[in-house]
Chain A
Amino acid sequence: MKTLKVLTAVAVMALIAVLASGIISFDTNKDHENETPNTIKKKTTTARAINGYDIGDVATDFLLKNIDDTMVSLKDFKEAQGFIVIFTCNHCPYSVAYEDRIIALDKEFKEQGYPVIAINPNNPAAYPEDSFENMKVRAQEKGFTFPYLFDAGQKIYPQYGATKTPHVFLLQKENGENIVKYIGAIDDNHKDASAIKNDYLRDAVNHLINGEEINPSKTVAIGCSIKK
């Protein structure tokens, strides 16, 4: 009899516990609902611009500040046959993974007439790591051999149609204009330079130098979205 009493008591308590927890979890849900919209409200939805250059388009020149505090334009490079323009930055792990490869490309192709021009397109308000001061620090640390320019006011990257870092635009000088010849990735493996299957950019520059067709002329790779 006593056992039955205890069992009943336990059953009743269990029932209360279930109900109570139901109320508690209901409350937590309500709290959650109240919180979530506030955290989201701050953000504005932005569709990324897909306009920009295609192969064969004329790329704009620019006047952007370099990490040595000089102003740099493509027209300053009188000897160049073209340019390897790479939108890149400090904060993005993909960009960081490619730093050594970008230096190697500059060393290899600068003397052949195709120097690397790196441009940081990000807004430092969105990514403090990408400030002009931090660009100087990173360039110093890594020993960048190429100009590392700051797209102040973010006027240049949308004209090119860069959406991410790193994002490459290979240009060739033709009759005083810079014509877009290749758009996309540096190669096909950000993680391991020794395991590359397709050395897209190096192959493209070599084809350009040899007057051959570039194929593929557009490639894709994961990158960090450029933030306004």
Chain B
Amino acid sequence: MKNIIFPLLLLIVISCREPVPQKAIVIDLEGMTHLMDGAPEKLQVINFWATWCKPCVDELPAFEKLQAAYKDDIDVILISLDDAENLESKVNPFLKKNNIQSQVKLLNHPYAAEYIPMVDQHWDGAIPVTLLKYKNQKKFFNQEFQYKELETEVLSLMNK
């Protein structure tokens, strides 16, 4: 009996620590408005992406690394612009396959012109884009990120 307790415990403890990939939470225009209007005390790194967007997928590891490195100080929020019909067929399987740990929301609102200006007046709709929000400050990036650059931008906003 005693012989199996140790491996059993080991198994339980390890499996508890194994990170579980996120599932996307569907939000609508109201949820988006709420997010954009917020003045978060914890810095938000809001990235707009989609599973079909290759440059977006390429930069996701940088955001994942940032979330892991600064989990107490930063909330990385990945907003998927995939169609809601693809939630179970494409988006969640993608998150599972890539073991995505940052929180993921799927914005279910086909009238993009109604939310694009809420994010930034310079955004014409190409993705990826990233918005940093901290207290009442905002910074918008119409570009792809590498980790170092992303980290530098986040720290500079945080230490302002």
Q: Using a CB–CB distance below 8 Å, which chain A residues touch chain B?
A: 6, 9-10, 13-14, 16-18, 20-21, 24-25, 29, 32-33, 36-37, 39-41, 43-48, 50, 92-93, 126-127, 163-164, 184-185, 188-192, 195, 197-198, 219-227
B122-159: which have CB < 8 Å to A?
A: 122-128, 142-147, 149
11 example contacts (A-B, Cβ-Cβ < 8 A) are as follows A20-B10, A21-B13, A21-B14, A25-B17, A29-B68, A36-B62, A93-B83, A190-B112, A192-B110, A222-B116, A224-B53
How far is it, in angstroms, between the C-alpha of A37 and the C-alpha of B125 when the chains are bound?
28
Checking A10, A29, A40, A195 against B146 with a beta-carbon cut-off of 8 angstroms, the contacting residue is: A40
Q: 9 other contacts beyond A10-B9, A36-B62, A223-B127, with CB at 8 A cut-off?
A: A21-B13, A21-B14, A36-B61, A40-B59, A40-B62, A45-B144, A46-B144, A188-B111, A221-B112
Nearest CB in chain B: distance from A143 CB, A: 24
Could you tell me the dominant secondary structure of chain B's interface residues?
Answer: helix
Chain A CB within 8 A of B42 CB:
no
Residues of A within 8 A of B10 (CB): 17, 20-21
C-alpha gap A50/B129 in the complex (Å): 13
Q: Let me know if B58 and A43 touch, CB within 8 A.
A: yes
Q: Using CB atoms, name the residue of chain B closest to A14.
A: B9
Docked-complex contact A220 and B6, CB < 8 angstroms: no
Is the pair B13, A17 in contact by a Cβ cutoff of 8 Å?
Answer: yes
Q: A126 — which chain B residues lie within 8 A by C-beta?
A: 54
Quick check: B5 and A222 within 8 Å, CB to CB? no
CB pair B55–A225 under 8 Å, yes or no, is: yes
Q: Name the residue on A nearest B121 (C-beta).
A: A220
Task: List residues of chain B with CB within 8 A of the CB of A223.
Answer: 125-127
**Complex contact A188–B145 (CB within 8 A):** no
Asked if residues A36 and B126 are in contact (CB atoms below 8 Å), the reply is no
CA distance A37 to B148 in the complex (A): 9
B2's partner among A6, A32, A197 (CB-CB below 8 A) is A6
Q: Nearest Cβ in chain B — how far from A167, in angstroms? A: 8
User: Whole-angstrom distance between the alpha carbons of A6 and B2 in the complex?
Assistant: 8
Are B145 and A163 neighbours in the complex by a CB distance under 8 Å?
no
Partner among A14, A20, A45, A221 whose Cβ is within 8 Å of the Cβ of B125? A221
Q: For the complex, what is the distance from the CA of A164 to the CA of B113, rounded to whole Å?
A: 15
**In the assembled complex, which residues on chain B have CB atoms less than 8 Å from the CB atom of A20?**
10
Known: A127-B54, A219-B113. Contact between A24 and B126, CB under 8 A? no
Which of A36, A41, A47 lies in contact with B143, CB distance below 8 A? A47
Q: Specify which of A92, A189, A226 lies most central, judged by the most chain B CB atoms within 10 Å of its CB.
A: A189
Residues in B with CB closer than 8 Å to A220 are 112-113, 116-117, 123-125
Contacts of A45 in B (CB 8 A): 143-146, 149
Given A14-B9, A36-B65, decide whether A222 and B146 contact each other with a Cβ distance below 8 A: no
CB distance from A125 to the nearest CB of B (A): 12
A48 in complex: contacting residue of B2, B61, B65, B143, CB < 8 Å: B143
Q: In the assembly, what is the distance between CA of A210 and CA of B144, in Å?
A: 42
Q: Is the CB of B126 within 8 A of A227?
A: no
Query: For the complex, what is the distance from the CA of A99 to the CA of B21, rounded to whole Å?
Result: 35
Nearest residue in A to B48 (C-beta to C-beta)? Answer: A222
With A and B bound together, what is the CA distance between A137 and B132 in angstroms? 42
What 0/1 pattern do residues 75 to 113 of B give for CB contact below 8 A with A? 000000101000000000000000000000000001111
Verify A195–B144 contact, CB threshold 8 A: no
Nearest B residue (CB) for A24: B14
